[in-house]
Amino acid sequence: MRHRHFLKLLLTGALALPMLAGPALANPVVVFDLNTGKVLQHQDAFSRWYPASLSKLMTAYVTFRAIAAGEVQLDSPIKVTKHSAGEPPSKMGFKPGSVMRLDNALKMMLVKSANDIAMAVGENIGGSQAGFAIRMNAEAARLGMTGTHFVNPNGLFSPEQYTTARDLALLVMAIRKDFPQYAPWFSIEGLAVGKKAIPNYNLLIGRYPGADGMKTGFVCPSGFNMIGSATRNGRTLVAVVLGEKSAISRAETAARLLDQGFATPVPNWLTVAAMPSYGDTMSPNDMKDEICKKKAPEEQSEAAPPVADKDVPKSPYQEKLDHVPTLVAVGLGGATGPAPKAMLDKGGQEYADVPLPSWRPDIPAPKGSEPVVVGSATAVQGDQPVKAAN
């Protein structure tokens, strides 16, 4: 009887898996084995959440698919448009018209979490922000990410851009299994842009044994998000952590979940794809007041240095790396490959990135000349400036 009762709970989604031992978790998490897809631990896995820069993982996936389809090459030019150059930080700050190789653009997007570069990649691959978002959502639907919707490639806040921990797990599996050749990009310790060194926001890289990916994200409404992966003895585990209070706490939570996972044998439980939906799957949680209301603007970023508590031992994720980080050089130029197909007109000529002329106000505009907005980014949400989607 007890066995049948547990099975009923399992199938209805009221209790998909027991939580592993450890302190109670406050927000959505999923821990799974990458090779088998088996879920080791989860909580609120189907709750809608603002992804912030975890959106850039889908931007990378759509781009990898475009490369595989022959639409673009790693050495193809990615041009910084006026729109992408205007995106708020975190950003590289290149001027409109600047050109870089696609592979360098992707590395800047994944390591620096540069919003301007993510938008440039999206516009160049999709033809526009809106066009690229259509492709992002098409891939999400194909992968079974039923609780996800995208409107931009960089993760800057929009109430219409949301996901779930379970959906992000599906995306990670697709990236790592479909495109293993790009796995090293997710474990880069830092970038070298000229004489400037840019560290990875993922504090597990270089500090947690076996850490090999993948991405962080932050906007005020989402809190501090993270997907961390690590490989030990041929076994790769992934922890999806959403809504933490700081960059340090999300790294600590991900590390603890990975530790617990490596101490647990591969379970004979459900896979990520087979998890039954449960909980509140409709209302995204908004952490803006909790995370940013009492902080100065310069503190509203995952790049902000944490406030140290003299009575609490320093976290290992606050410490500098115990070795000289390996930096990957990136920058402008070197784009000798063909232009992305989305940036070419029917005659094979590259579109010019110039503003459409406006009609003189003293002359009636001809029919059909009204401006059409194809995707946009708002620099202010209500009375709050948009902060970095890092």
Comparing CA positions, the residue from 123, 118, 125 lying closest to residue 56 is 118
In angstroms, the Cα distances linking 249 to 124, 181, 203, 315 are 36, 31, 10, 9
56 catalytic residue (yes or no): yes
Instruction: Decide if 320 is catalytic.
Output: no
- Burial letters for 242-266: b for 16+ Cβ neighbours within 10 Å, e otherwise? bbbebbbbbbbbbbbbbbbbbeeee
For residue 146, count CB atoms less than 10 angstroms from its CB and return exposed for 0-12, middle for 13-18, buried for 19 or more: middle
Q: Which of 53, 55, 222, 229 is catalytic?
A: 53
Token couple for 29: 């998490």
- 345-377 core/surface letters (b: 16 or more CB in 10 A; e: else): eeeeeeeebeeeeeeeeeeeeeeeeeeeeebeb
Indicate the angle between helix axes 55-68 and 165-178, nearest 10 degrees: 30
Q: Active site residue: 76, 113, 246, 249, which one?
A: 113
Q: What is the largest CA-CA distance in the chain?
A: 82
- Catalytic-residue membership of 229: no
With beta carbons less than 8 A apart as the criterion, state whether 258 and 205 touch: no
State the distance between the two ends of the chain, measured CA to CA, in whole angstroms.
49
Helix (H) or strand (E) holding 42: strand 39-43
Token pair recorded at residue 160 = 């219409």
Of 114, 138, 106, whose CA–CA distance to 53 is shortest?
Answer: 114
Q: Are 153 and 56 within 8 A, CB to CB?
A: yes
**What does DSSP say about strands 99-101 and 190-193: parallel, antiparallel, or unpaired?**
unpaired
Among candidate residues 47, 55, 56, 158, the one labeled active-site is 56
Give SS3 for 33: strand
Between CA 388 and CA 115 the distance in angstroms is: 8
Helix (H) or strand (E) run with residue 31 in it: strand 29-33
Would you please indicate which residues are annotated as catalytic (active-site) residues?
Answer: 53, 56, 113
